[in-house]
A and B are shown apart, each in its own frame.
Chain A
Amino acid sequence: NAGVTQTPKFQVLKTGQSMTLQCAQDMNHEYMSWYRQDPGMGLRLIHYSVGAGITDQGEVPNGYNVSRSTTEDFPLRLLSAAPSQTSVYFCASSYLPSSYNSPLHFGNGTRLTVT
């Protein structure tokens, strides 16, 4: 059981480049989300999805796009990378409703550096 798989683990981009962070889960979870973690800031929600074809913005969505064409995959796209997007990115998923009995499962993160 792979759980939540994020690729790549590390990435270095130049300012203005675009890329997609991949997230896949094999638990048939309806809910998927992306967080970014910055030093001294905790984790902040970027975008989330409650099912295929349904996405919504979180706390810090600017500069990122998402889509959910299948239950399993929830890619995060950086359209034009900026140094402010240097961060560690986590994907997480759960059954709905998320709750005490269905907590979030996290991937192992992607460390992104934008120079």
Chain B
Amino acid sequence: AQTVTQSQPEMSVQEAETVTLSCTYDTSENNYYLFWYKQPPSRQMILVIRQEAYKQQNATENRFSVNFQKAAKSFSLKISDSQLGDTAMYFCAFMKHRKAYGGSQGNLIFGKGTKLSVKP
């Protein structure tokens, strides 16, 4: 079975600084997808960034980027120029590729989350 581990329950960063959230996962699959979700106090689940396992290039979305190390099964999230609005819970998630569906059936396995506080 797949597992996702986020080893930092809480982190804080000063506004405008850079912070990295760690995520490791365990799987025997070769093809899969990885995601980072943000959950602000509003409770909404917001997709931040995504990565396909067969793509070696690290994904970037504006101030958010990942360091994907497939051999090490590591998928860390870097937030540059942190803003107060980045304060939230961040969840790392894994989705298995399923041949029967030509991709995946959508079931996500989540880590337990990292609570990030951005301080002014």
Contact = CB atoms under 8 A, between A and B. Distances in A.
B35 A50 contact: no
A55 to B, nearest CB: 12
A75 interface: no
Contacts of A96: 101, 103, 105-106
B33 A99 contact: yes
Secondary structure class of chain A's binding surface, majority of residues: strand
B-side interface size class: 20 to 34
Given A42-B110, A42-B113, A48 B105 contact: yes
Contact of B50 (A58, A100, A106): A100
Nearest to A40: B112
Interface stretch (B40-48, B60-68, B77-85): B40-48
B88 interface: no
Interface in B4-22: 4, 9
Given A43-B110, A106-B45, A99 B105 contact: no
A42 B95 contact: no
Interface in B81-120: 91, 95, 97-98, 101-113
A108 B105 CA distance: 21
A111 B41 CA distance: 13
Nearest to A108: B44
A108 B40 CA distance: 11
A2 interface: no
Contact of A45 (B9, B107, B113): B107
Interface residues of A, number: 28
Nearest to B101: A97
A99 B43 CA distance: 23
Contacts of B51: 100
A71 interface: no
Interface of A: 31, 33, 35, 40-45, 48, 50, 58, 88, 90, 92, 94, 96-100, 102-104, 106, 108-109, 111
